[in-house]
Structure 1
Amino acid sequence: MSKAFASQGDLTEKTISFTEVGRGLWAFTAEGDPNSGVIIGDDSVMIVEAQATPRLANKVIEKVREVTDKPITHLVMTHYHAVRVLGASAYDAPQVIMSDVTRSMVAERGQEDWDSEFQRFPRLFEGHESIPGLTWPTTTFSDTMTVYLGNRRVDLMHLGRAHTAGDIVIHVPDENVMFTGDIVEYHSACYCGDGHFADWGDTLDEIKWFDVDAIAPGRGDALMGREMVNAAIENTRDFVESTYRPAARVAARGGTLKEAWDAVREACDPKFSDYAIYEHCLPFNVARAYDEARGIDTPRIWTAERDIAMWEQLQG
């Protein structure tokens, strides 16, 4: 490889924030690193997103223990990516919930994704030796599922494909707050390497329909108030469309992946180059956009070997 992935050189620890986004609802954020969510019910706690390792999960647990001593009974994964799920064992939650599609993706490509992400982003896997293996759910659902934490209702919903085929969101009606996973980001690049560009905008519209008062996004700061929520949704939409359209134009005329890369950079660099993990995501985003534009509906599985081959191709 002519040079390393940008993420391989990202070794700086990020500052953690723990923001209350509604009564008993918290967003664990860390300057563009993967976020987690906390939902405190009458007698127990639900965690949204496990983090990449038990070591990182314990940072979430430390914050939870600052605000409640209630047991963690539910762990919800919005999708299958390693940086979201491999820290699950730290919570020792009796219920681990995913969508049916996400479980199938763990079975199909979970190990390959783990190997790929471990190579790409070593800082997020410090303490990886404590990961016991792939994370499997105890419970799955297809479209919607409701969990009651005492009297607190929590709605889990698959609204459509976006960041992955199996994405879910978590809505807490009593505070009108949503946890969106990586469907919505804030001043952080969207990772689209396993995404569905043609569907993403429709899924954002489904989220927008709820007219929520706050969102805990997949990466970036908590979104407080409807103005900030709507701005982040539209900015995410712009990022996805600005990535796909140039790549699709190149694919339509039979151009190369490298030409798609150059076209996407021309469109996106002026708007998004200062976003967290922008350079980390860009090669994978371009490769997936180019594939989708050529009619490949199901994202090809990323492996450590495929990562390197793609990167060398883009470097010319």
Structure 2
Amino acid sequence: MTVLREIAAGVHVLRHPVLDVNATLVVGGEAALVVDTLSTAGQARQLLAAVRRVTPLPLQVVNTHHHFDHCFGNMVFTADDCPIWSQEEAAALVGPALRDRAVSNHPDLATDLAAVTPTPATRLVRTAIDLDLGDRPVQLRHYGRGHSIGDLVALIPDADVLVAGDLIEESGPPQFGDAYPLDWPDTVAALMAALTQQTQVVPGHGAVVTRRFVAAQHEQLAALAWLIREGDADGAPPERVAAKSPFPQEITLPAVHRGYLHLNQP
């Protein structure tokens, strides 16, 4: 049975074994919010069943970004006419092409992914919006580009919890496939300004972390951004830059290529 774990009053996290991805439930007085909907219809149905064991309240959904493991379960939630929020540029990327890439890149999930109807958000956020769940505010914020073009975080102030999506990773290093490695440190710095020393941060993947963990990952991201800028200025091959990274070389190489590309755009 898929189970949500309560980490603060009315805030529950489901850590799904496939890809170690997190989904979060925030329960208010009049409505509840599900942050991220997992990878497939089957996973989303498990999530929805777990949510309904906690609360019967009307639901809303937030996608932290457009990657399949965070939004391909949307189709299950829209069956109940559930509004879905995401950053506007992220929503524009949810479509058949995204599904086709997911099928190609994840053969172990290919059959289930091929059956997904990509369902973009119906409510768009540019930089900020506040939701009211009935005596419980939730602040949605786009602090800038980082892991993707449209990263959105959810802050639950009265519980001192922040849901960070893949801007923060715990069970593995940050992923840079379509990231903005030069912007990412500033985005995390802005996110950190909303944290206290006691804030619980739900990463996109892995265990719930603290501000201290976020600060350490910010230092690594900033160090990588500096290496990319220095390497570009020196004309260094990407492989040489990646070898100096605080992250594994095979993970870093796409970041260096993307950083060089962004630095040299006309």
Residues 249 and 16 of structure 1: CA distance in aligned 2, closer, same or farther (over 3 Å): farther
TM-score (norm 1): 0.72
Residue among 224, 227, 230 paired with 2:211? 230
How far apart are the structure 1 equivalents of 2:164 and 2:5?
Answer: 16
Aligned partners of 2:152 and 2:165 also within 8 Å: yes
Residues 1:210 and 2:188 aligned together: no
Partner of 1:28: 14
CA deviation string 1:200-242 (max 9, x = no partner)? 111112221122421111111122xxxxx12321232244345
The 5-angstrom pairing of residues 244-263 of structure 1 reads 244-246=225-227, 248-257=229-238, 259-260=239-240, 263=241
- What code does the residue aligned with 2:188 have? L
Aligned partners of 1:248 and 1:290 also within 8 Å: no
Secondary structure of 1:117's partner? Answer: helix
How far apart are the structure 1 equivalents of 2:264 and 2:4?
Answer: 37
- What code does the residue aligned with 2:11 have? L
How far apart are the structure 1 equivalents of 2:98 and 2:115?
Answer: 18
Report the Cα offset of residue 181 of structure 1: 0.7
Identity of aligned residues (%): 22
Report the Cα offset of residue 76 of structure 1: 0.7
- What code does the residue aligned with 2:87 have? S
| Count of aligned pairs | 260
Residue among 115, 140, 149 paired with 2:133? 149
Q: Where do 5+ consecutive residues of structure 1 fail to align?
A: 1-14, 224-228, 299-316
Q: Where do 5+ consecutive residues of structure 2 fail to align?
A: none
Residues 1:19 and 2:5 aligned together: yes
CA deviation string 1:286-308 (max 9, x = no partner)? 2242232243588xxxxxxxxxx
How far apart are the structure 1 equivalents of 2:97 and 2:230?
Answer: 30
Residue among 51, 58, 83 paired with 1:95? 83
TM-score (norm 2): 0.85
How far apart are the structure 2 equivalents of 1:288 and 1:297?
Answer: 14
Partner of 1:264: 242
Partner of 2:148: 164
Residues 42 and 126 of structure 1: CA distance in aligned 2, closer, same or farther (over 3 Å): farther
Residues 1:55 and 2:36 aligned together: no
Partner of 1:187: 171
